[in-house]
Chain A
Amino acid sequence: MKIFVCVKQVPDTSGKVAVNDNGTLDRSSMATIVNPDDMNAMEAALSLKDETNCQVIAVTMGPAPAEAMLRELIAMGADEGILISSREFGGSDTFATSQIIAAAINHAGFGKDDLIFCGRQAIDGDTAQVGPQIAEKLDIPQVTYAAEIEKKEEVLVIKRMLEDGYMMVEVQTPCLITCIKELNMLRYMTLKGITECYEKPVHVMDYECLKDEPLIEIDTIGLKGSPTNIFKSFTPPQKGSGIMLAGTVRDTAEELVNRLLKAHLI
Chain B
Amino acid sequence: MTLQLTKEQEMLVKLVKDFSENEIAPLAEETDRTGKFPMQIVKKMAETGLFGLNVPKEYGGVDMGEVSKVLAILEIAKACSSTAEMYAVQLLVNGIIAVNGNQEQKQKYLGMSMEGKLGAFALTEPGAGSDAGALQTTAVWDGDDYILNGVKCFISNLGPEEGDYAIVIALTDKEKKIRGGMTAFLVDRELKGFVVGKTEDKMGIRGAAVSELILEDCRVPKSAILGQVGKGFHVAMSGLDSGRIGIAAQACGEARAALQLALAYSKQRIQFKKAICQNQGIQWYLAEMATKLRAAELLTMEAADLRDRKQPSGMNASMAKFFAAETAVEIAGKAVQIHGGYGYIKDYAIERIYRDTRILTIYEGTSEVQKIVIAKALLQ
A interface residues, Cβ below 8 angstroms from B = 68, 71-72, 75, 188-195, 197-198
Contacts and interface: CB of A to CB of B under 8 A. Distances in A.
Given A71-B11, A72-B14, A192 B52 contact: yes
B48 interface: yes
Nearest to A195: B62
A102 B18 CA distance: 32
A192 B53 CA distance: 9
A191 B18 contact: no
Contacts of B8: 194-195, 198
B11 to A, nearest CB: 5
B11 A75 contact: yes
A191 B7 contact: no
B48 A190 contact: yes
A110 B49 CA distance: 33
Given A190-B49, A191-B48, 5 more contacts: A71-B7, A189-B48, A191-B61, A192-B52, A195-B64
Given A71-B7, A72-B11, A191 B19 contact: no
Interface in B233-291: none
Secondary structure at chain B's binding surface: helix, strand, loop or mixed? helix
Given A71-B7, A198-B7, A198-B8, A192 B62 contact: yes
Nearest to A189: B15
B208 to A, nearest CB: 23
B19 A194 contact: no
Interface of B: 7-8, 11-12, 14-15, 18-19, 47-50, 52-53, 61-62, 64
A188 B19 contact: yes
A192 B49 contact: yes
Nearest to B51: A191
Given A71-B7, A198-B7, A198-B8, A191 B53 contact: yes
A194 B12 contact: yes
B265 to A, nearest CB: 19
Nearest to A194: B11
Contacts of A197: 11
Nearest to A75: B11
Contacts of B14: 72, 189
A3 to B, nearest CB: 22
A68 B61 CA distance: 23
> What 7 pairs between A and B have smallest CB-CB spacing?
A191-B49, A190-B49, A191-B62, A194-B11, A189-B15, A195-B62, A188-B48
Contacts of A194: 8, 11-12, 15, 62
A74 B11 CA distance: 11
Nearest to B19: A188
Contact of B12 (A68, A71, A191, A198): A191
A195 B7 CA distance: 9
A189 B64 CA distance: 15
Contacts of B15: 75, 188-189, 191, 194
A64 to B, nearest CB: 14
B363 to A, nearest CB: 27
Contacts of A68: 7
A93 to B, nearest CB: 31
A75 B49 CA distance: 12
Contacts of B7: 68, 71, 198
B187 to A, nearest CB: 28
Nearest to A190: B49
A170 to B, nearest CB: 33
9 contacts: A71-B11, A72-B14, A188-B47, A189-B48, A190-B49, A191-B12, A191-B48, A192-B49, A198-B8
Nearest to B44: A188
Nearest to B23: A188
Nearest to A246: B270
A189 B8 CA distance: 11
Contacts of B62: 191-192, 194-195
